[in-house]
Structure 1
């Protein structure tokens, strides 16, 4: 899918037909967005504007030189945006090029960040006259969405904490798996925030990015620092919950072991009595007792219950 945003009179217009690209004046172009495009659309854009989008492998590289580069009034950025899936978060690589005030983006997924950015642009189309403003809006939207995701994780952590208080007697394996999943989501969210921090820091050092937008970038850096603090706090809460759940599991296991230990000790005296009278020696006077069998059974019960009563008085039960 191809979306071409350009200035028309005093407003921002959109075109989706690649055949009409040549009819739009170059100085009017603001943003060319490719989302899971056809080969023809990608080749046409690269040929017409003499640019080269990064491959998926290049977009996923972690080296600074692969993530951000600048040359001849051209800025090339490779970044991973978070895509919210049913099972959690996933990375979606995005290739970004800024050349002569025009923003070029290439992505495969329908990212919420871009959708929300388009809504902001449509709400005030006269404010956007170049690709620098569009990129700033995309980054602002990304930071806002990261903040929303951190808030959602905080709500889930609070719900887990409440369930811990409500069901302190029983710890479910599903709760531990949920904590592990939240830790993974929180880690991916932190990596995404740090990636945007590196991108904005690089833009602030850029000689191509206009100075008039540096104030907005500085505000974004402050917002990101605040998000990282909240993200760190979420990690600490998750570690606390995990330690608490593990402690409850250990207590439950100790309780089970205690029951088996008490049962074993309680049956030791009866076992001893049964062992003594189970010996096959000729000279055992008790063999001739009329009530020997009944007395042996009585001794077994008395010794067993006596042991349990002793444990009870010692508060070991």
Structure 2
């Protein structure tokens, strides 16, 4: 899918037909966005504008030199945006190029940050006159999306904490898997936020990015720092939740072991008595006694009761 945004009568217009590309003046171009495009569309854009989008391998490299670098009049950026998939999310690498005020983006997924940015552009098309403003809008929208996800994640963690401590309606395995899922989401969020922090910091140091937008970048850095603190708090809360969960599991296991231990000790005296009267000696005084069987039974019961009373007084039960 191809979207070309260009200035037309002091407003932004959109064109999706690649055959009309040459009819749009190069000086009016603002944003060229490729989403899950065909090879023909990609090659046409690269040839016409003399640019080169990063490959998937280049977009996913973690070295700073591969994520952001400058040419004579061109900024090459590789960044990750979150791709929402039902109740889950994952990375989607985006290749970004800024050349002479025109923004070029290439991605595979339909990203919410891009969709929300397009809505902002449509609501106020006269305010977007170059690719720098579009890029800032994409980053701001991405940061807002990250903040929403972190808030939702914090709420889910709080709900799980309540269910764990107040009303344990779930199985231990389900709770543990839920905690592991939250930890994985938190790690993905941290990596995504750090990636944006590195990108914004690089833009602030860039000589090709206009000075007039530096204040916007400074505000973004502060917002990102706030998100990092919230993310750190979520990590600490998950660690606390995991420790609480493991503590409750240990208490429950100890309670079960205690019950078995008490039962074992309580039946030791009767077992001893039964063992004594089960010995194969010819002379055992009680063998000829009419009440010998009843005496042995009563003796076994009394020995168990006395043992349980002793445990109770010691507060071992």
1:172 offset after TM fit, Å? 3.1
Aligned-CA RMSD value:
1.2
The CA distance in 2 between the partners of 1:308 and 1:86, in whole Å, is 56
Structure 2 residue 28 is the aligned partner of structure 1 residue 23: no
The CA distance in 2 between the partners of 1:309 and 1:86, in whole Å, is 58
The CA distance in 1 between the partners of 2:146 and 2:92, in whole Å, is 15
SS in 2 for 1:272: helix
Aligned residue for 1:305? 305
The CA distance in 2 between the partners of 1:83 and 1:38, in whole Å, is 20
Deviation per CA, 1:252-307, whole angstroms, max 9, x where unpaired?
Answer: 00000000000000000000001111110112222121211111111111111111
My pick for the range that moved more, 96-105 or 75-84, is 75-84
Aligned residue for 1:243? 243
Q: Would you say how many aligned residue pairs link Structure 1 and Structure 2?
A: 317
Equivalent residue runs for 1:11-160 within 5 Å? 11-86=11-86, 88-160=88-160
SS in 1 for 2:86: coil
Check the 8 A contact 1:68/1:202 in 2, yes or no.
yes
1:162 offset after TM fit, Å? 1.7
The CA distance in 1 between the partners of 2:127 and 2:93, in whole Å, is 28
The CA distance in 2 between the partners of 1:89 and 1:128, in whole Å, is 30
Check the 8 A contact 1:171/1:248 in 2, yes or no.
no
Aligned residue for 1:209? 209
1:94 offset after TM fit, Å? 0.5
The CA distance in 1 between the partners of 2:81 and 2:31, in whole Å, is 18
Give the gaps of 5 or more residues in structure 1.
none
Deviation per CA, 1:226-268, whole angstroms, max 9, x where unpaired?
Answer: 1111111111111111111111111000000000000000000
Check the 8 A contact 2:163/2:169 in 1, yes or no.
no
Structure 2 residue 192 is the aligned partner of structure 1 residue 192: yes
Aligned residue for 2:180? 180
Check the 8 A contact 1:5/1:14 in 2, yes or no.
yes
1:177 offset after TM fit, Å? 1.3
The CA distance in 2 between the partners of 1:290 and 1:23, in whole Å, is 118
Give the gaps of 5 or more residues in structure 2.
none
1:171 offset after TM fit, Å? 5.9
SS in 2 for 1:93: strand
Change (3 A) 1:13 1:170: closer
SS in 2 for 1:52: coil
1:221 offset after TM fit, Å? 0.4
1:137 offset after TM fit, Å? 0.4
The CA distance in 2 between the partners of 1:274 and 1:19, in whole Å, is 99
The CA distance in 2 between the partners of 1:268 and 1:170, in whole Å, is 37
Check the 8 A contact 2:150/2:230 in 1, yes or no.
yes
Aligned residue for 2:9? 9
Q: TM-score, normalised by structure 1?
A: 0.97
The CA distance in 1 between the partners of 2:177 and 2:37, in whole Å, is 38
The CA distance in 2 between the partners of 1:216 and 1:292, in whole Å, is 96
1:44 offset after TM fit, Å? 0.5
Check the 8 A contact 2:6/2:29 in 1, yes or no.
yes
Aligned residue for 1:163? 163
Check the 8 A contact 2:97/2:103 in 1, yes or no.
yes
The CA distance in 1 between the partners of 2:170 and 2:263, in whole Å, is 23
The CA distance in 1 between the partners of 2:242 and 2:305, in whole Å, is 40
